[in-house]
Structure 1
Amino acid sequence: MPDSLKDRVKAAAGADEPQPEPPPVTDLAVHDSARQWLLRRQTFFTDALPRHVDRAHFMAVAQARMEDLKKCTPASIHTALLACARFGLEPDGRQAAIVPYGDVATFQPMYEGYIELMYRHPRVDSVHFGWVRENDAWDYTPTEPSPRDFYHKPRVDLSDEERGKVILAYAFAWIDGRRSQVIILNRSQAEAIRNKFSKAYKKAESNGKRDSAWHTDFDAMWAKSAVLRLRKVVPTSTELAELLQADDDLDDAQTAPPVIRGTVITRDDQTATGEQPSTSSAWPETTQPGSATTDEAGEQ
């Protein structure tokens, strides 16, 4: 049906009006370059993983983190991911985290990562961590024999808010069929540990940045402090001792990559002339938006 005279007049009047600009086209190459960088190096990370860790899942978790790390230098991301792989810890924020400090990606083991390494010891049957809240039913009598010395029954019919604020963190392990000593840590004790031992916390307080892990996620550090005390009553492995050392290195130099003992810069991170990897935060450019070169796309 032909347009009415009214429609034709309206269309003619609108022809001279400025048209809205089309939405900007997203250059997918900006995001793909970091992904391609990770895919080119995936064998270095997967080869470092313990046999029991699923390689495809580890790489999927690592790839999900790349968006948050795109401003970090590739060399620091390589070091942090290699540390995760070496200890078999996923960079998911629960077992381990990769924290950007400026343009430096830094490996940060979490309390679940320590539990994972404790659990790998053949004598350890299980490791448990929990929070006690104000309205929970609980009791601790250290003079009683295990396991009657500790009791905790959270109200599963209540929300966390209804259960009240957290008052205690606790951890214990079952070793050779017997329960270990229960480690209990209240908030003031966690703060005392922070104030006495954390160099990163003191530095962040003195420079006014307040960006240490104790500042940004106190509960996670509180939980890790409780689990770290548990290491004194569980069988110790070389792997656990090395993770503790890596954690200490991180606290000593939070504004620079920690020295992860046993990790090295691989040949893939060196140029053809043998130079060390660039500390620039710029990612390699791709030839087309959203795509890689033939060589890059074919590498695994």
Structure 2
Amino acid sequence: MATNLADRRADPIAVIRQNLTQMAPQFQAALPKHVTVEKFTRVAMTAIQNNPDLAGLDRSSLFGAIVRLAQDGLLPDGREAAIVKFGNKAQAMPMIAGILKKIRQSGDVSKISAQVVYENDEFVWHLGFDEDVTHNPPALDKPRGKAIGAYATAVLKDGARLLEVMNFEEIEQVRKVSRASGNGPWVAWWSEMARKTVMRRLSKRLPMSTDLEDSFDRDETVPSIALTPEREAAPVSRLDALEHRIAADPEADEVLDQSQTGEIATLESAISELDDCEIRVDIDARLAALLPLLDDGDGEKLKDHAAVLLAEFDQ
């Protein structure tokens, strides 16, 4: 049902709550069994109420970010994931706790950790056939000093140990090419982003499910950049190929034909957005985000178009 513009401006939080209630079937289909629709919707609304700026962002991108977190099985609670602002658009951002949760759920990893290293820590790392690390912080009453790097380590079910280490300069190189380099999570949560950066690099060597890889695909706060020749440990993945396309065409990931406020979507612009999706999961997310912005008739037509696109992916 079309949303009344005057009502939206009068009480945007109430309208968003109503939209999320209408999107319950999409959440039900996307969420894992251990997360109820009611809990996910409640946490999403709390995130929006705690950050009022989100209510003023492009609504299509806001709903899309929420649906993507549902598909990833992550709560936007600031621990597993967050909804962050990029310009006038919202984006889903998995946090390190959410990433570790999904990796553990894959069943292929028995232990995994990511930590920041500070200048007063004792830190020794070993490469070779048995990659390992020794990391001892100073006593609690002693300062740890400045951050000098980060590492991620994992033990696979077959006993193999994997380790990835990045120094401060390498992490900063990633930050500088991120769309959020000068604001948002890189400013507010540098340590969190450093851990996620090195975990992303380690993930290239982990047995990962497609949905976890897609989660990294969509996270523009931690872009993937080329390793130096002496550190390169894995071939370029399809993650890097997609991000190379985005870097070459900064507008490739922008929502098409939307008003600046995201208040109204036309059927033509909605179809164009679906056609622009590169992966199956983005079609589902974009469809769920656009339906509340269309009337019932156009919404059914958009569902039919999405069904055709999804059928093409299945061929």
Range into which the TM-score falls when normalised by the shorter chain: 0.5 to 0.7
Contact 1:49–1:88 at 8 Å: present in 2 too?
A: yes
After superposition, residues 28-177 of structure 1 pair within 5 angstroms as: 29=11, 31-67=13-49, 68=51, 69-142=54-127, 145-146=130-131, 149-155=132-138, 157-158=140-141, 162-176=143-157
CA distance in 1, matches of 2:133, 2:295: 58
Partner of 1:265: 287
CA distance in 2, matches of 1:55, 1:275: 22
CA distance in 1, matches of 2:117, 2:110: 23
Q: Per-residue displacement from partner, 1:28-77 (whole Å, max 9, x unpaired)?
A: 95543333332332332233112233443322220111222111233221
Partner of 2:254: 256
Letter aligned with residue 170 of structure 1: Y
* Structure with higher RCO (Cα < 8 A, 6+ apart): 1
Q: After the TM superposition, which segments of 4 or more aligned residues of structure 1 sit over 6 Å from their partners?
A: none
Letter aligned with residue 166 of structure 2: L
Partner of 1:228: 200
The RMSD of aligned alpha carbons is 3.3
TM-score, normalising length from structure 1?
0.66
Contact 2:130–2:160 at 8 Å: present in 1 too?
A: no
Change (3 A) 1:158 1:183: farther
C-alpha deviation, 1:144, in angstroms: 8.1
Q: Per-residue displacement from partner, 1:117-157 (whole Å, max 9, x unpaired)?
A: 221212211321112222223322335845xx421122353
Identify, as 1 or 2, the structure richer in helix. 2
Change (3 A) 1:37 1:142: same
Change (3 A) 1:174 1:273: same
TM-score, normalising length from structure 2?
0.63
Gapped runs of 5+ residues in structure 1? 1-27, 205-209, 277-300
Larger radius of gyration: 1
C-alpha deviation, 1:213, in angstroms: 5.0
Change (3 A) 1:231 1:43: same
Q: Identity over aligned residues, as a percent? A: 27
Change (3 A) 1:54 1:133: farther
Gapped runs of 5+ residues in structure 2? 1-9, 221-241, 256-275, 301-315
